[in-house]
Amino acid sequence: MVEEAVRDWEFFLGHMNYWLFIVLMMTGFYIVVAKGNLVKKIVGLNIFQTSVFMFYISIGKVEGGTAPIFPVDMNIDPAVVYSNPLPHVLILTAIVVGVATTSLGLALIVRIREEYGSIEEDEILKIEKEIALQEIRLHSEVMGERG
């Protein structure tokens, strides 16, 4: 019993990165879904994406591995274990994508603010509902006339 509990505890601690990845991911996801402020949504999206960066970087870790830099003379000692650099490179790309998404999202918010005068989702929805109602009213007036 005790042994099992210790093993579980060690498994838990040993995978700390992954637990934090899940916590961070769900936090970000929750913010995107639950917050009504458009800027806060973008912040949530950022946290969500950052959690994935952490996930990828954790994959690259090799136990006992050192930084993946070959010696200058290229005499590679086969006994030395290197961490896997590939996930890090992938995540560089994903970071660039994240930056582009954030900046585009913020630019859209600026434009939304100019047009609607608000960055709160519920207020924007109210304005949009009003426009839609007017459209339908016009539609039924015109279409009703010929009735």
Partner 1 sequence: MSTETVHHTALTLADHLPALQVLVPFIAAPLIVLFGRRGIAWPIALASSATAFAVSILLLSRVIDGSVISYHMGGWEPPLGIEYRVDAANAFVLLLVSAMSTLVLLFARESVEAEVSARHHALFYSAYLLCLSGLLGVAITGDAFNVFVFLEISSLATYVLIAQGSERDKRALTASYDYLIMGTIGATFFVIGIGFLYMATGTLNMADIADRISEQGSNRTIRAGFAFIVVGVGLKVAMYPLHSWLPNAYTYAPSMVTAFLAATATKVAIYVLLRFVFTVFDPGFLFEFNTLGYIILPLAIVAMFAASFIAVFQSDFKRMLAYSSVGQIGYILLGIAMLSQTGLTAAIVHLFNHGITKAALFMAVGAFVLTAKGSFYNDIQGLGRRMPLTSAAVVVGGLSLIGVPGTAGFVSKWLLVEAALENGWWPVALLVVASSLLAVIYVWRVLEVLYMQPTPDGSTVQEAPMSMLAPMWIAALACVYFGLDTDVTLTAAATAAEGLLAGSTGLQ
> How many CB atoms neighbour CB 91 within 10 A?
19
DSSP 76-132: --TT--B---HHHHHHHHHHHHHHHHHHHHHHHHHHHHHHHS--BHHHHHHHHHHHH
Is 6 or 132 the residue whose CB approaches partner 1 more closely?
A: 132
Contacting positions for partner 1 (CB under 8 A) = 25, 29, 32, 38, 41, 45, 48-49, 52, 55-56, 59, 74, 86-87, 90, 93-94, 97, 100-101, 104-105, 108-109, 111-112, 115-116, 124, 128, 131, 135-136, 138-140, 142-143, 146
Is 6 or 126 the residue whose CB approaches partner 1 more closely?
A: 126
Is 3 or 63 the residue whose CB approaches partner 1 more closely?
A: 63
Residue 101 CB, nearest distance to partner 1 (Å)?
5
Residue 56 CB, nearest distance to partner 1 (Å)?
6
Residue 11 CB, nearest distance to partner 1 (Å)?
14
Is 20 or 52 the residue whose CB approaches partner 1 more closely?
A: 52
Determine the Cα–Cα distance for residues 147 and 135; give it in Å rounded to an integer: 18
Phi-psi region of 41 (alpha: psi -120 to 50; beta: other; left: phi over 0): alpha
Please give the C-alpha separations between residue 64 and each of 28, 49, 74, 82, 147, in angstroms, as whole numbers: 32, 28, 21, 8, 81
Residue 90 CB, nearest distance to partner 1 (Å)?
6
